[in-house]
Structure 1
Amino acid sequence: MGGKQQHDIRHSDRTPAALGYSMPPEWAPHEATWLAWPHLASDWPGKLDTIRWVYTEIVRKLVPGERIHLMVRNAAEEARARQYLHRAGCPLSRVLFFHHPTNRSWTRDSGPIFVTRSQRPHPRAIVQFHFNGWAKYPNWRRDRQVPEAAARHLGMPLFEAFWNGRPFVLEGGAVDVNGSGSLLTTEECLLHPEIQVRNPGFSRRDYEAALQAHLGVRNVLWLKSGIVGDDTHGHVDDLARFVNRNTIVMVRESNPRDPNYRRLEENWELVPDLRLEDGSRPQVIALPMPAPITFDGYRLPASYANFYIGNAAVLVPTFNDPKDRLALGILGELFPDRPVVGIHAVDLVLGLGTLHCLTQQQPA
């Protein structure tokens, strides 16, 4: 696609939804998965090399079903990544290296968020949600450029998200969709008036209208709080996820003495009132929580809800915990069409995120 054509779409005053676009669900067929090769040692203190092998395993499990767009900062980093993947027996023909400098490796939140429509031209497009380091960290400016760079690389239209005349900030981990008009999110992440405020002054109505305009949803299901230790202050992808159009899995803590117990029960108290886009009640299935994992006295956000749905497998974080087997079994019954595979995430969660936080799907 030529530069002028992309320029015209970028500055269109029509929203993606007005042009027929919406965000497909994660279980819909992918063309590829986007990842950013890990490089920031402070995200995984003393364990960066271990994390490279975890990434290698993620790629190895996904490539039988789809291509991988692997972002690397430069040629030297590409050469290093190729070494790891080759040694693990990963077919490099399925991995497309994309040179783009990033601050961090959390592609779910800063990477391209895709929307699709049935008509041509341009059946797929990317929405730029103006990532700002979760309204917390200073190192985000390179990450914010990733959606624009991806749109150029793929030749897709890019919509810059604005609402009320201001850039609309949203991370991919803050929302989850069923592809039929409903979206899950939390009040803690989007509506807290003081902590990590992405869009100062936005009301619930503003968010619902902006999400409708940019992701094509008609119905927002608001939960209360995310899990303890979540550095994003309430991302829904550590809490609750759609697994099909009318089924949600949501984590639940069984130990009343655990700090997660009360806050998660408050979400379960909302379940009888949840409604989908057609007015029906979703089925909500409990996922267990692993036992607490701490580092230097800090509770890490370990959650089985941070799974990723690929074409060839559903990848689920595991934590050397007896409940790993239970979580894998629950998700295995919910995804009968593809294997459910555990990925060791005790080291990964040291970076305050796991599998879903690292990945971003590109729809077919």
Structure 2
Amino acid sequence: MRRLEIPSELIPQLFTIETNLQFELEAVALDENLQAIGKAFGLDAERAWHLNKPSPTSRLYRLDGTRALMVRGICATGSETMAAQCHVARELNYGGFIYPLITAEGPVIIRNGTAWMAYEAQPGEVYDGANCPLSALFEGILSLQNALALAPPDKNLPKVTHRPDDWSAFYKTNLNLPKNLGEAARILVNRNKDALSGLAEDVSNLVRNGKTRLVHNDLNHANVLVHKERPFFLDLEDIVYEIPEVSMAHALFKLVRHRVYRKTITLDKARAEIPVLLGRLEKDGYNLPDRAALFRYGALRILSEIHMICMWVFEKGDYSLIYDLEKKIHNLFELWLLTETNHEFSS
């Protein structure tokens, strides 16, 4: 049986990598295309700003006039998915999430090969680990997830694809790391290859036996705006079908982990928060009874994403997500530390 091993000298290097701390708005020219997009959504735009948020698949702008809109564009081939996500968001019985605007063409317009949606810009700052009580934040997350669970099925809504049959061999023999990866991440992976392979095999059955439902699948700090200590959730594109325990384990880990990163709380205090949050999840029917379950479902998500990023490189020659790889490797070992788990898995 195997457990993850973290050399003591590497522990101080964990909880030190974060992305999307604050999103900078960069003034850009208000060209004819952006003006036309604004008009389609009922705005005579006077200024335009580009939001510098790393994404390989979308562009996000703020258009200012008599009011302010956020407009998001993706390749037009994804217009049906975007429209389905907009319809879900508009019908939610929850007010703390994006409410897409409607045009004569529907919630999505297509201009020059790009599909666009829009919503009113919201006041607030990105969650910084301290500007919203964790209890209020967590209740908001549960309200959003429970509202999404009631949405009617729609074949145009995406389903997260995991490849568990590939994981064990990938982590044991095929995990080639890019040369520019940090030394700590490289050591952690190389020292734990057998353990990672066993862990991947262990959690793969959670995918095979799991039942999906509609969720918001990326409730990390960067997708939470806080205004007057109340949360507002972002990122329409993360409305997908996924195993609910995976999405909630990810949310719990990322938000508690961000508090440690920002030094709002110590690692020990973060560990003490987790049982309380797990108890709240259990009341709403999530099968996350203890730290071991939290680790397994959280690790499933992280292992799947590491595999996906590497496969994009190996199979597609696409390096657009490589910037996130080092953070995700650190995240796996941070999750291990946070859960204090004695969970063991096959080697």
Q: Which has more strand, going by share of residues?
A: 1
TM-score (norm 2): 0.27
TM-score (norm 1): 0.26
Structure number with bigger Rg: 2
